[in-house]
Structure 1
Amino acid sequence: MFSPQGPTLRELVVQALSSVERGYDLLAPKFEHTPFRTPDRVLDATADALRPLGPFGRGLDVCCGTGAGMRILRPLCQGRITGVDFSTGMLAQARRTHPDAEWVRADVRVLPFTEGFDLAVSFGALGHFLPAERPALFAGVYRALRPGGLFAFPIGGPPPVTSAQYWTLLGFDLAMQVRNAVWRPPFVMYYGTCPLHAVRTDLVATGFSVTTVPLTALGRREDGSPRCRLVLARRT
């Protein structure tokens, strides 16, 4: 799962016993060499789905990490592109890789933007928010978008109960619950807390008009359903 340039087991343990912010500060220099970084094929599939809906003006990557989302924002957006994250370490890496973008350190649950963007994207971040925190996140993105602006992010379909992946992810979530029950500060990272139906409900309650498109380039499951969908939430 990890390349030789990635973090050691000791470094991963230290990260897991830290807060989310501190953990990602520590992981930042080697983040690009971990499986936590959004794969290029997911970024490319997202770009292919968004391209017919553009071009867009200004773009925002929510929970940008080391800036992988800039790979798709730059060709899709004609205006300024911005990344926002609360990890100083991740933003430092992003600045080195993409010096032409704008970077903002902020808690995305209280985004400091008002009607400044036409497209917002996010990759792999929803698991860092408890269900009760999602409305604040979505409300902040809603405020950050201009009327008619689009918030887009991929979301994977649930693996079959009979699959090894299902039990692996369930085991990870249970381990995190135990860790957070006995250790402080908490490290919020869960895979099973953001199913599509719950995310759609929260987006609609915020005021978004929500549709989805299958990312067929990422494959289909045995029952024919897509492995991943792109959520398209538009500020009406």
Structure 2
Amino acid sequence: MFSPQGPSLRELTVQALSSVERGYDLLAPKFDHTPFRTPDSVLDATADALRPFGPFGQGLDVCTGTGAGLRILKPLCEGRITGVDFSAGMLAQARATHPDAEWVQADVRALPFAGEFDLAVSFGALGHFLPAERPALFAGVYRALRPDGLFAFPIGAPPPIASGRYWTLLGFDLAMQVRNAVWRPPFVMYYGTCPLHAVRNDLTAAGFTVTTVPLTALGRREDGSPRGRLVLARRT
């Protein structure tokens, strides 16, 4: 994270004290050199899980950031692919990397699409939405899809309560709550606000039929359960 290519501690501090949009505008030029970018292993596992359901027509990457999701949409979709994000800085980086894609700057809680896409994906974005905001996000994706369209995104298994990772993520969420209680504008980024059962309920309420498949390429936990699952929400 603190390599010459990545952001400095000072830059990360300035970002954390900004709004979500401004923070990502600032981080955009160095974002792909941070651990915040979705790992290629997750992208590859998602592509492998989606391939049997394709090929697809037109594809949408929701909260595209610097466009990492475009790497799997291109081989899966036969039509145009589009990335949508509200950060102009992130979209500028994505456009430079994928000049053949289409890009839309918009708040994904009010997506400006209707019945245009056969596949929508999203990576690492749910933590930027409070639970009360997820219904609007999922309703917008539902509208953006054609009938029988698919919305897919990976979701990690919760770490065991006895693990260091569990307490690290809990500590991060608590620190973020304190930060947002005493500092404006808020920076919404939480790790514990989108468990699978809550996400499934919100997707079902939006009209989707929801299933999941294990991302076995990501390995298994000590109890044998998968470290990650791919949520498949179908517009029926």
Q: What's the TM-score once normalised by structure 1's chain length? A: 0.99
Partner of 2:133: 133
Cα distance between partner residues in 1 of 2:200 and 2:156:
13
The correspondence of residues 112-191 of structure 1 with structure 2, limited to 5 A, is 112-191=112-191
Maintained 8 Å contact 1:2/1:35: no
**Deviation sequence 1:118-148 (CA, Å, 0-9, x none):** 0000000000000000000000000000000
Per-residue CA deviations over 1:98-121 (Å, capped at 9, x if unaligned) read 000000000000000000000000
Partner of 1:68: 68
2-side partners of 1:208 and 1:161: how far apart? Answer: 31
The letter for the 2-side match of 1:77 is C
Could you tell me how far apart the structure 1 residues matched to 2:139 and 2:98 are? 28
- Matching residue of 1:33: 33
> Counterpart of 1:202?
202
| Aligned mates of 1:111, 1:203 — CA distance in 2 | 16
Alpha-carbon distance in 2 for matches of 1:83, 1:171 = 32
CA offsets per residue over residues 178-211 of structure 1, 9 Å max, x none? 0000000000000000000000000000100000
- Tell me the distance in 1 between the aligned counterparts of 2:157 and 2:206: 23
Contact 1:82 1:103 in 2 (8 A): yes
Partner Cα distance (2:77, 2:122) in 1: 15
- Secondary structure (helix, strand or coil) at the match of 1:31 reads helix
Measure, in 1, the Cα distance between the counterparts of 2:34 and 2:137.
26
1:3 Cα deviation after fit: 3.4
Structure 1: state its 5+ residue gaps: none
1:219 alignment counterpart: 219
Instruction: Supply the RMSD in Å over aligned alpha carbons.
Output: 0.5
Is residue 2:78 matched to residue 1:78?
A: yes
Give distance in 1, aligned partners of 2:208 and 2:3: 40
| Counterpart-to-counterpart distance in 2, 1:156 and 1:172 | 17
- Paired letter, 1:39: P
Q: Give the Cα separation in 2 of the matches to 1:216 and 1:171.
A: 29
Aligned length in residues? 236
SS at match of 1:42: helix
Aligned to 1:198, what secondary structure does the other structure show?
A: helix
Unaligned ranges ≥5, structure 2: none
* Alpha-carbon distance, 1:226 to partner: 0.4
| Cα distance in 2 between the residues matched to 1:159 and 1:138 | 25
Aligned-partner Cα distance in 1 for 2:225–2:167:
20
**How far apart, CA to CA, are the structure 1 residues paired with 2:37 and 2:197?**
25
Partner in structure 2 of residue 8 of structure 1: 8
Partner Cα separation in structure 2 for residue 190 and residue 60 of structure 1 = 24
Identity %: 88
Structure 1 position 150, deviation (Å): 0.1
Q: Secondary structure at the match of 2:6?
A: coil
1:192 corresponds to which residue?
Answer: 192
Does the Cα contact within 8 Å between 2:215 and 2:226 map onto a contact in 1?
yes
Q: 1:35-74 deviations in whole A, cap 9, x for unaligned?
A: 0000000000000000000000000000000000010000
The answer as to 2:43 corresponding to 1:54 is no
- 1:6 CA displacement: 0.3
User: 1:2: Cα distance to partner?
Assistant: 4.3
